[in-house]
Amino acid sequence: MKILVTGANRGLGLALAANAVQRGHVVLAGVRNPAQNTEKLTMLCERYPQQVALVPLDVASDESVRFTAEKADDRYQVLDAIVNNAGVLSERYHTIEELSMEETVRTFQINVFGPMRVVKYFLPLLRQGTRASIVNISSEAGSITNAIGGNYAYSMSKTALNMFSEQLSVALREAGIPVYAVHPGWMQTDMGGQDAAIDPYVTANGILDLIEGKKVVTSRFVFIDYRGTPMVI
């Protein structure tokens, strides 16, 4: 399979890229700036030169996403999965009085409009795949039922991402392309911290099982965790 992973230079994105190539897949590893924080990803590219392609992909830029989609079309002509993993967590624990609207807009640009841009420009390639799917990395923080205070920008962006995923799932149902909004769990990443409970490679394995069709998702809604278990909306 050919899998596009955004934010592939660290954390869950890097774990997804590494696990995917070990399973024999080809990975388009999207990073905002290939010159920064890509040492481990570069090593992966060198170890698997036929399976990993590091591609510049700034999900906050229409021009960047469109350009990379065109290059991917020229080289591969097809995609089998998209994992929208790139995301930011900012303005944490800020009160509404303290909240930076500029940072809040930036959060939506990356966490919501980023996945929308990627799907918009890469969907034609995905439609050529034999067992295509889309995974948008969400969070339990996007649950309305379980909402807790102190995370306006991030939580709201993940709730919006869940709705985008639901809308997209309906739109692509006849095409047979499943869409998942996946809660990855509390992971040991830069965002989750080292006290987190889950190794990102465990989450990556679960997501790849979803992509490969090894797990049957029976949830009515697309919001699930990395094991395929329904999340509370």
What is the distance between the alpha carbons of residues 30 and 8, in angstroms, rounded to a whole number?
A: 6
Three-class DSSP category at 176: coil
Task: Confirm whether 154 is a catalytic residue.
Answer: yes
The three-state DSSP-derived secondary structure of the chain is CEEEEECCCCHHHHHHHHHHHHCCCEEEEEECCCCCCCHHHHHHHHHCCCCEEEEECCCCCHHHHHHHHHHHHHHCCCCCEEEECCCCCCCCCCCCCCCCHHHHHHHHHHHCHHHHHHHHHHHHHHCCCCCCEEEEECCHHHCCCCCCCCCHHHHHHHHHHHHHHHHHHHHCCCCCCCEEEEECCCECCCCCCCCCCECHHHHHHHHHHHHCCCCCCCCCCCEEECCCCECCC
Residue with tokens 């809660």: 183
| Residue 19, CA atoms < 13 Å, CB-side half-sphere | 20
Catalytic residue among 48, 93, 152, 154: 154
Q: What is the set of active-site residues?
A: 154
